[in-house]
Homo-oligomer: A and B are copies of this chain.
Amino acid sequence: MGKRPTIYDVAARAGVSKSLVSLVLQDSPRVSPDKREAVLSAVEALGYTPSRLAAGLAGSRTRSVGVVIDEFENLWFAPVLAGLRVALAAERYSLSVADAELNSHLDLDPLEAFRALRVDGVILAGEASAAALARLGVPVVVLGTRAVEVPGIPTVASDELAGGRLATAHLAELGHSDIACVSAPGASAAAREAGYAAEMRERGLTPRIAHAAHTSEAAAGHAAAALLGEARRPSAVFAVNDPMALGVIGAAAQCGLAVPRDLSVVGYDDSPLAAYELVSLTSVSGDPRELGEVAGRELLALLGGGQAAPATLMPPRLVQRRSTARR
């Protein structure tokens, strides 16, 4: 990681003065578009984030915390909020939440919106640009596996590589050897898929990965239909999230295959639908409530002027239901 970059590093890289960098970070209109662009590029390249002290100088705050999520449709964030409430209650911080789309009609990034609301800190449970993070000027804790590179910002995440291993080991221990993975784009899916591939290789089995176009039920169903139509049909599938696992089960039903008799299926996230009687899906749980609570405590440490752990990786667990059976 190296040393945390300073405002001087940004100024040097952008070829401007330190005070001009400050003006850009304060969103001043007295900066030319060229110089603004140069500074923001340098901020992004270096992964620069302003110190708490500089943030404090920006004025009074509101005793509130903003939570940025990817999309409200992904129910993973509801227990995250419950965990955050437990942590933040002690110091009476209020919560606001926004997904990437909430103010897209104004071309307004959720981080920019939280900056305007003068929140004291942010839980980043979605993607963001390093430039937007730097301009935010308040402490941030990243929650979950994110593609964004944020040197100096603490991360609390479930160990999703371990989760992919857990799902795969469960299927292998049930006697399956032809185990496929239905994966999708995104940092989280990539970590789960990598865990699957590592566990397969460690057991001397050959990974067989079908990539769906999206993380949706429909896209996974499409990918699974192709997989199940092949001459050598897998006897088990690990899907990188629960809706995708439902897509796999739906595709299996269309081929006349019963789950778990003809095909064992494991999902990921232990979402409410995994527990539905009709579905009864074996799934990997990252315990989002606990992640929220830990991330909230880390943010309080930063808000109190202390240090947070650079990275906390929580172990996931397997929730066994009726979608997996002995080969």
Contacts and interface: CB of A to CB of B under 8 A. Distances in A.
A81 B89 contact: no
A2 interface: no
A254 B277 contact: yes
A34 interface: no
A272 interface: yes
Interface in A96-127: 96-98, 101-106, 108, 113, 117
Interface string A176-219: 00000000000000000000000000000000000000000110
Interface string A43-80: 00000000000000000000000000001110101100
A12 interface: no
Number of copies: 2
B89 A217 contact: no
B277 A247 contact: yes
Contacts of A247: 276-277
A102 to B, nearest CB: 5
Contact of A72 (B78, B218, B221, B250): B78
A98 B94 CA distance: 11
Contacts of A82: 101
A278 interface: yes
A321 interface: no
A89 B106 contact: yes
30 contacts: A71-B78, A72-B75, A72-B77, A72-B78, A73-B75, A73-B78, A75-B75, A81-B101, A85-B104, A86-B105, A89-B106, A92-B106, A94-B103, A94-B108, A94-B113, A95-B102, A95-B103, A97-B102, A117-B117, A217-B276, A218-B277, A243-B272, A246-B273, A246-B276, A246-B279, A247-B277, A250-B276, A250-B277, A253-B277, A278-B279
Given A97-B102, A217-B272, A247-B277, 20 more contacts: A72-B75, A72-B77, A72-B81, A82-B101, A85-B101, A89-B106, A94-B103, A94-B113, A95-B103, A96-B96, A96-B102, A97-B98, A221-B277, A246-B276, A246-B279, A250-B277, A250-B278, A250-B279, A251-B277, A278-B278
Interface of A: 71-73, 75, 77-78, 81-82, 85-86, 88-89, 92, 94-98, 101-106, 108, 113, 117, 217-218, 221, 243, 246-247, 249-251, 253-254, 272-273, 275-279
